[in-house]
């Protein structure tokens, strides 16, 4: 793929990630959006439907993951990198969603900060921001060795 088309495609995909974020209130059920945007230290924990929250977090994570994996594949055109990233996303989802639901059920009133950051990794495409420079650095080091 020519470089200019790569940049256009990656820019478009990052735009999709921005749109997912911009329309989060319309697309996803998440009573904790307003809770964490406001003065959550003084506010009561909102009522929530755990099953609906799980399904919506899974849907949002899947959307972010698919767009992020497309970005990674276009940037590196390497199936091994794509497979590794996919595996990392799956393992991270299982660990993060388990921890998140444990925290909101048992520990939210005591430790808002940990819950906030675990939730952030679930609903924001942060892994792509970590993986892109990591794979770029790995590729750069590999080319310098040759």
Look up residue 18 and give its two tokens: 């921005």
pLDDT level of residue 109 (50, 70, 90 thresholds): low
Q: How confident is the model at residue 42 (pLDDT cuts 50, 70, 90)?
A: low
Q: Pick 105 or 9 by higher pLDDT.
A: 9
Predicted confidence band of residue 32 (pLDDT cuts 50, 70, 90): confident
Give me the pLDDT at residue 79, please.
Answer: 96
pTM of the model: 0.89
Q: What is the DSSP letter of 125?
A: -
Q: Is 13 exposed, middle or buried (0-12, 13-18, 19+ CB in 10 A)?
A: buried
């Amino acid at each position: 793929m020519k470089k200019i088309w790569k940049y256009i495609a990656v820019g478009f995909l990052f735009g999709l990630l921005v749109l997912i974020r911009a329309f989060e209130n319309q697309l996803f059920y998440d009573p904790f959006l307003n809770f964490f945007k406001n003065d959550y230290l003084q506010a009561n924990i909102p009522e929530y439907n755990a099953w609906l929250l799980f399904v919506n977090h899974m849907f949002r994570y899947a959307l972010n993951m698919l767009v992020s994996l497309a970005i990674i594949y276009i940037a590196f055109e390497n199936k091994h990198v794509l497979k590794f990233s996919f595996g990392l996303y799956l393992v991270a989802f299982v660990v993060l969603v388990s921890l998140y639901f444990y925290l909101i059920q048992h520990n939210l009133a005591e430790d808002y900060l940990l819950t906030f950051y675990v939730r952030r990794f679930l609903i924001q495409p942060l892994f792509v921001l970590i993986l892109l420079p990591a794979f770029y650095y790995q590729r750069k080091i590999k080319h310098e060795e040759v």
